[in-house]
Structure 1
Amino acid sequence: MKIPNFRWFIIALVFLAAVLNYIDRQTLSVLAPTIQADLGLDESDYANIVNIFLVAYTISYLVSGRMVDRLGTRVGMAVFVAFWSVSNMLTAAAHGFRSLGIFRFALGLGEAGVWPAASKSVSEWFPAKERALAIGVYTMGSTIGAVVAPHVVIPLAGFAFATHLPFIADLLGQGAGWRMAFILTGAAGLVWLIPWLWLYRLPGKSRFTTDWELKLLADAEAAETKATGGALNEKPWGWGKILSSRVVWLLLLGRLITDPAWYFYQFWFPKFLHSERAVPQEGLTVTGWVYVAAGVGSLLGGWLSGLLVKRGVAPAASRLWVMLGCALLMPVSLLVVRATGLNATMALTAVTIVAALAWLINISSLVVDVVPKACLGAVFGVVAAGSTVGGIIMNTLVSSMLSKTVSVPSGFLNQAVDTLFGPVLRAVQGGGYNLWFALMAFLHLAAWLMLYFGRIHRNSAKAAA
């Protein structure tokens, strides 16, 4: 049976994987107070658990892409989804700091692998004019997963198993509710494997692909091969070439510099509203609009650069033009801290988040535009590792900005960052949120200038080394 535009069914599956990825990731965050009470964990323990996850995530980024390149997109994606789903389910067996840390480390190893696999699926199924939009669609899955997670896991954790399903309460013991939340959300990933393994093949080997769609992809590949002199079909790069590539380092630094803006809105913005805008705990549901804006930015950024490609602009150049517009919008963050009302604060915040996510979609698309397909997973993973490193640095910087006294950093990873960047942290200490918003206003413009004068849009994959 032939299905018209089957490539969009493929990206719908990747979108669902991203939703499940973020639901599983957010389960611990959403249920943290209950889990900490049941397992006897203090705030320092929780900080270390979070950092253990980030360390695993960074490690996985460096190796998972190469695994996907070797296993293929279909098998590679399935391996990582299965691994993280089982890891999430095993979290139900945690009984203290050590076991919880082990399971969250395993979760981080599995979850990072979905993103190189997702980017590779886009390179296999989408022409250049649709790639950024496809990446925007599956990236939007992560924002939806973050919104959905509390509405899924909190009711599960609060269900009276002892009353309605006593055998489960007896089996799982103390904290049956939150333990069951981990089991069921993890199991959803295993169910997802069924349609993925059934449907995903390379376009030429899929029985669902129409002749029209095959021609669309073949014509697009021929045009891209001609434009790059066949560079995108090169043999895979070795680690030496990847790690010495100027383009790879430009993209990695671009993610490291700019991704902290999005991390800030995920992890610190609710605290900003609570302390600076006097929004009560129950009123912080308004932060759901952060993820709505992120979804809009994901789709808008992909659509805009795709529109430029359709009008004849080279793919890499089209991404940079959209990214310039995003960079010029980011100074709106200077107005966020000066806004007096909640509505004005949220409106201005929405503008910066749309810009930040549209930027993220296009810098992710640049990787697909300039790197040989055979090693795309490995390069994407290395570039994405810059994102998590940037997030760790941002967390430490903002923590120092909000601290009025010298304090011992909590968590082993924060201590390591403090050792490396101690003088900088002391210099910004006590600067408050205003200092971070001022810095965040120009991160994207600095990164854009680096990418532009690094001539990344002038590089074919063959010239990337």
Structure 2
Amino acid sequence: MKFRGLRWWILGLVFLAAVLNYVDRQTLFVLAPTIQRDLGMDDREYADVLNLFLLAYTVAYLISGKLVDRLGTRGGTALFVVWWSLANMATAWVQGVRSMGSCRFLLGLGEAGIWPAASKAVSEWFPPRERALAIGLYTMGATVGAALTPYVVIPLATHELPKGLPLFDSWFGSQSGWRVAFLLTGLAGFLWLIPWLLLYRHPRHSKRITPEESALIAESEEMASTGGAWSWRQVLAFRPMWLLLVGRLLTDPVWYFYQFWFAKYLGTQHGLDQRSLTVTWVIYTAAGIGSLAGGWFSGLLVKGGKSPLSSRLRVMLGCAILMPLSILIPGCGGLSSTMILTACTVFASLAWLINLSAIVVDIVPRHSLGTVFSVVAAGSSLGGIAMNMLVAAMVSGPPVKAGGFLDQGFRSLFGPLLTSVQGQGYGPWFLAMALLHPLALIILKAGGIQRHRAGCDRS
């Protein structure tokens, strides 16, 4: 059976994988107040758990790109989904901070791989003029997943299970609500695997692709680089990779903050309870719109005759101009004005991220795209770790418990910085978020990213 527009069906499955990825990721963040109370976890321990996830995420990024390049998009993606789904299900049985940290570490090892796999799928199935939009669409899956999570997991966590379910009682006891949420959201990944394994093949090997679409993809194949996969030495010598890594290290912490901490910020600053935190759908909707708009607009510029690289950078400039709105958020007295300003900055942050990711796909030869994308994305999780440490110090004040190894290591490197912001609340972080994107754009421009020839091959 032939599918018209098969590449969009493929993209739909990648979109759903991103939804599941973020539902499994966000379950902890949405239920954090309840879980922290049940497990006796303070904010610094919460930050340590987040950082174990991000540490594994960083390690997995460095490995998963090579795995995707070696195993192929189909097999690599299936491996990652199975791994993170099992890790999420295992979270239902945690008993304390250490077991929670272990499960989040395992989750991070699996979840990072979907992004280099998704970028490789886009490079295999989409011509250059459609790639930014395709990246925007599957990234919107992450924001849709984040927006849906409160509506899925809060009812699961607060719903009283029917009487006569001794299996759940024996497994989970009185804390069954949030534990069931982890169990059921993890199971969803195995349902996703069925259509993925049935449908996905490389375009050259697919029996379901139409001749017209095959010709369209073959045209872009002709423009793809030839040669063998880069060695690690070649990857590390590729200067644009380091510029893009720094760009993500500086700017991705903004999006991580809204995922990991913003619900807690609303609870602290605006007195929202667990059920009221469903209002965060506004933020994730803005992120999804930003993902689409960023990809659509740069694609429009490409169709108008601009080079892909120039188009991405123009959109990123507009995003950097919007980010200083972050400074105004802590001063908002009402929830409505807080959400409006936050939505604007999240919109800009995601439109920026889409175009930064598209630059990687534009300029890296396809045979090594997974590897380079992974190294660039590792900067994202390193920036997220630093953000967690800073924000935890800002909101917690002096530590009252011995820190974990991540906390102690970060303090040994950045002790004076942590001391300077300790106990000052969220304000300094909102100021930092106003400046990070403009700074990253200056570094990209000064480093000459705009002079790099798209699709060049160093093999």
For 2:416 and 2:307, locate their aligned partners in 1 and report how far apart those are by CA, in whole Å: 43
The alignment status of 1:439 with 2:439, answered yes or no, reads: no
Find the partner of 2:445 among 446, 449, 452: 452
- SS where residue 312 of structure 1 aligns? coil
**What aligned pairs does 1:108-147 form with structure 2 within 5 A after superposition?**
108-147=108-147
TM-score (ref. length: structure 2): 0.91
177-186 or 243-252, larger mean C-alpha shift: 177-186
**Preserved contact between residue 246 and residue 464 of structure 1 (Cα < 8 Å):** no
For 2:381 and 2:366, locate their aligned partners in 1 and report how far apart those are by CA, in whole Å: 24
**What aligned pairs does 1:421-432 form with structure 2 within 5 A after superposition?**
421-429=414-422, 432=425
For 2:276 and 2:157, locate their aligned partners in 1 and report how far apart those are by CA, in whole Å: 22
- SS where residue 207 of structure 2 aligns? coil
**Preserved contact between residue 333 and residue 349 of structure 1 (Cα < 8 Å):** yes
For 2:416 and 2:299, locate their aligned partners in 1 and report how far apart those are by CA, in whole Å: 43
174-183 or 442-451, larger mean C-alpha shift: 174-183
Amino acid at match of 1:316: L
Aligned residue in 2 for 1:219: 219
Aligned residue in 2 for 1:305: 298
- Displacement of 1:355 after TM fit? 0.7
Aligned residue in 2 for 1:348: 341
- Displacement of 1:43 after TM fit? 5.1
366-375 or 32-41, larger mean C-alpha shift: 32-41
Find the partner of 2:365 among 369, 372, 378: 372
Aligned residue in 1 for 2:203: 203
**Preserved contact between residue 16 and residue 141 of structure 1 (Cα < 8 Å):** yes
**What aligned pairs does 1:4-83 form with structure 2 within 5 A after superposition?**
4-36=4-36, 39=39, 41=41, 45-83=45-83
- Displacement of 1:103 after TM fit? 2.5
For 1:25 and 1:63, locate their aligned partners in 2 and report how far apart those are by CA, in whole Å: 20
**Preserved contact between residue 137 and residue 291 of structure 2 (Cα < 8 Å):** yes
- Displacement of 1:447 after TM fit? 0.9
190-199 or 426-435, larger mean C-alpha shift: 426-435
**Preserved contact between residue 229 and residue 367 of structure 2 (Cα < 8 Å):** yes
- Displacement of 1:47 after TM fit? 3.7
The alignment status of 1:149 with 2:152, answered yes or no, reads: no
Call closer, same or farther: CA 1:201–1:408 in 2, change over 3 Å.
same
357-366 or 399-408, larger mean C-alpha shift: 399-408
For 1:88 and 1:452, locate their aligned partners in 2 and report how far apart those are by CA, in whole Å: 40
Aligned residue in 2 for 1:178: 178
**Preserved contact between residue 44 and residue 411 of structure 1 (Cα < 8 Å):** no
TM-score (ref. length: structure 1): 0.90
The alignment covers a number of residue pairs equal to 458
- SS where residue 233 of structure 2 aligns? helix
Amino acid at match of 2:77: M
For 1:170 and 1:403, locate their aligned partners in 2 and report how far apart those are by CA, in whole Å: 36
Amino acid at match of 2:157: A
Percent identity among equivalent residues? 57
- SS where residue 228 of structure 2 aligns? coil
- Displacement of 1:405 after TM fit? 5.5
The alignment status of 1:413 with 2:406, answered yes or no, reads: yes
**Preserved contact between residue 31 and residue 154 of structure 2 (Cα < 8 Å):** yes
**Preserved contact between residue 365 and residue 457 of structure 2 (Cα < 8 Å):** no
Find the partner of 1:322 among 311, 315, 320: 315
For 1:283 and 1:425, locate their aligned partners in 2 and report how far apart those are by CA, in whole Å: 32
- SS where residue 64 of structure 2 aligns? helix
- Displacement of 1:147 after TM fit? 1.9
Aligned residue in 2 for 1:384: 377
CA displacement, residues 205-257 of structure 1 (integer Å, 9 cap, x when unaligned):
112211111121222333x44xxxxxx33321111221232111101000001
- Displacement of 1:459 after TM fit? 1.6
Aligned residue in 2 for 1:331: 324
Call closer, same or farther: CA 1:96–1:235 in 2, change over 3 Å.
same
For 1:333 and 1:294, locate their aligned partners in 2 and report how far apart those are by CA, in whole Å: 15
- SS where residue 389 of structure 2 aligns? helix
For 2:417 and 2:381, locate their aligned partners in 1 and report how far apart those are by CA, in whole Å: 19
Aligned residue in 2 for 1:190: 190
- SS where residue 266 of structure 1 aligns? helix
Amino acid at match of 1:140: M
Q: CA RMSD in A?
A: 2.5
Find the partner of 2:256 among 256, 263, 282: 263
Unaligned 5+ residue runs, structure 1? 226-231
**Preserved contact between residue 38 and residue 174 of structure 1 (Cα < 8 Å):** no
- Displacement of 1:45 after TM fit? 4.5
Aligned residue in 1 for 2:389: 396
- Displacement of 1:33 after TM fit? 4.7
CA displacement, residues 189-216 of structure 1 (integer Å, 9 cap, x when unaligned):
0111110000001112112211111121
**Preserved contact between residue 305 and residue 318 of structure 1 (Cα < 8 Å):** yes
Call closer, same or farther: CA 1:437–1:175 in 2, change over 3 Å.
closer
For 1:278 and 1:40, locate their aligned partners in 2 and report how far apart those are by CA, in whole Å: 21
Amino acid at match of 1:423: P
Amino acid at match of 1:106: L
Call closer, same or farther: CA 1:464–1:400 in 2, change over 3 Å.
farther
273-282 or 163-172, larger mean C-alpha shift: 273-282
- SS where residue 2 of structure 2 aligns? coil
**Preserved contact between residue 162 and residue 169 of structure 1 (Cα < 8 Å):** no
**Preserved contact between residue 154 and residue 275 of structure 2 (Cα < 8 Å):** no
Call closer, same or farther: CA 1:36–1:274 in 2, change over 3 Å.
closer
Call closer, same or farther: CA 1:322–1:464 in 2, change over 3 Å.
farther
- Displacement of 1:281 after TM fit? 6.0
For 1:400 and 1:246, locate their aligned partners in 2 and report how far apart those are by CA, in whole Å: 34
For 2:186 and 2:267, locate their aligned partners in 1 and report how far apart those are by CA, in whole Å: 32
- SS where residue 201 of structure 2 aligns? coil
**What aligned pairs does 1:263-282 form with structure 2 within 5 A after superposition?**
263-277=256-270
Aligned residue in 2 for 1:165: 165
Call closer, same or farther: CA 1:330–1:39 in 2, change over 3 Å.
closer
For 2:332 and 2:154, locate their aligned partners in 1 and report how far apart those are by CA, in whole Å: 33
CA displacement, residues 388-439 of structure 1 (integer Å, 9 cap, x when unaligned):
1111112222334446658778443232222111223334445554433332
CA displacement, residues 248-300 of structure 1 (integer Å, 9 cap, x when unaligned):
11010000011112122223334444444565665443322111100110000
Find the partner of 1:239 among 223, 227, 232: 232
